[in-house]
Amino acid sequence: MTPLRVAIGAVAGVTGGPATYSVELLHALAALGDGALELVVLTDRPDLFATLAAARVEEVPLPSAWRQPWWDNVAVPARLRGLGVDVYHGTKHALPLVPLPRGTARVVTIHDLAVLVEPETFSLAQRLQLAVHLRHAARAADRIICVSRHAAGDVAARLGVAPRRIAVVPHGISARFVPLADAARRDAVRRRHGVDPGGFLVSFVGTAQPRKRIEVAVDAVRRLHADGMPVTLVVAGRRRPGYRAEWLDAPPPFVRLAGELPADDLVELYGASDVMVSPSSFEGFGLTFVEAMACGCPVVGVAATSVPEVVGDGGVLVERPDAALVAAALARLLGDAALRAETARRALARAGALSWRRAAEQTRDAYLAAAAVRRETRG
């Protein structure tokens, strides 16, 4: 059988869930080794795909995140001309607004519809860009990949997409996310982040932006301090351009701002944490929950959007992003070592059920289905 030639648009230079998704998925697709696909990677970060011997990697520069509309609608279509691909996959919400070469099937990953549900948490430019691209992608795609059942339901209901055009493909979890077994190393990580001996380490990992509701976590930890519980909150991740918050500009003494961490340091932070908290009000998947759980770290989150289906029984979920509720959930876990250990065990089991190889297999099937639809259309 002739391999299906697939071009994948992977914006990987802006850190976050979609970037992690594109990198992990492409490595998993290349590792399938079943001969069904011939991969071409169009990316702003070719260095992240340098080890993909089974793929052709082409750099498509992206000078800044603000130029992504140009990348999607000018740079990528220009590069696709002459490549002779059967399928194009946009991994970050978008398909080119201009026509693709005749016969090219179109696949898009829509991670979430937060911009339609919580538009106030996005800048005006982001709202306009995403609203246009999401609606176009919903119309133009031969297959839409959603990373959770919740996201798929949103796409069907809000964008009017027939469920038969949607493939639900959950994220996997990288093999580097494992528990931190060395107690001395764990203690060293805690000291590095300024955790007092006998105190607790609670972490938040993700992009600092309005819908992550990090201020709720800060307020919750403040309440624990007022009750005499010694907790240090370590916030790791980039700040979204333009985002300002009092807790970020003038952090309370119990908050440590770690910034973006290298992969190894991030694994150590999860492994050294007593709990990972994310009061996010909207998640398409919630990859940081799974990363923490794979490191044996219980999580506290909000029982909304995709979080319940991702976390399962690997954490404690509260009804809404409310500081009092989050503080109570944290106190429950931090104050009961046996409960914390049992929740960590369940978290490991839940994370172990997710696989990037399985995600790659399901994505390959979506490519084959999209190509079949395109052939039927041409016929």
Q: What is the CATH number of the domain that holds 246?
A: 3.40.50.2000
Say if residue 265 is in the same domain as residue 328: yes
Whether 241 and 365 map to the same domain: the answer is no
pTM: 0.91
Structural domains of the chain, count: 2
Residues 20 and 110 reside in one and the same domain? yes
331, 196: one domain: yes
Residues 6+ apart with CB under 8 A from 174: 24, 291, 356
Same-domain pairing of 232 and 126? no
Amino acid identity, residue 108?
V
Q: Do 196 and 344 share a structural domain?
A: yes
215 and 75 part of one domain: no
Pair (82, 119) in one structural domain: yes
The answer to the question of residue 367 being in a domain is yes
What is the rounded distance in angstroms from the CA atom of residue 192 to the CA atom of residue 203?
A: 13
- Phi/psi for 366 (5° steps) reads -65, -40
d(CA 323, CA 329): 10
Nearest Cα residue to 148 out of 242, 287, 351 = 287
pLDDT in single tens digits along all 379 residues of the chain: 689 999 999 999 877 788 899 999 999 999 998 889 999 999 999 999 999 888 999 999 998 878 888 999 999 999 999 899 999 999 999 999 999 998 899 999 999 999 999 898 888 888 888 889 999 999 999 999 999 999 999 999 999 999 999 999 999 999 999 999 899 999 999 999 999 888 999 999 998 889 999 999 999 999 999 999 999 999 999 888 778 888 888 899 999 999 999 889 999 999 999 999 999 999 999 999 999 999 999 999 999 999 999 999 989 999 999 999 999 999 999 999 999 999 999 999 999 999 999 999 999 999 999 999 877 766 5
- Domain-located, residue 379: no
Clarify whether residues 187 and 332 are in a common domain.
yes
Give the structural domain span for 106.
4-172+355-374
Residue 273 placed within a domain: yes
What residue type is assigned to position 347 of the chain?
Answer: A
Report if residue 338 sits inside a domain. yes
In this structure, the answer to whether residues 113 and 216 fall within a common structural domain is: no
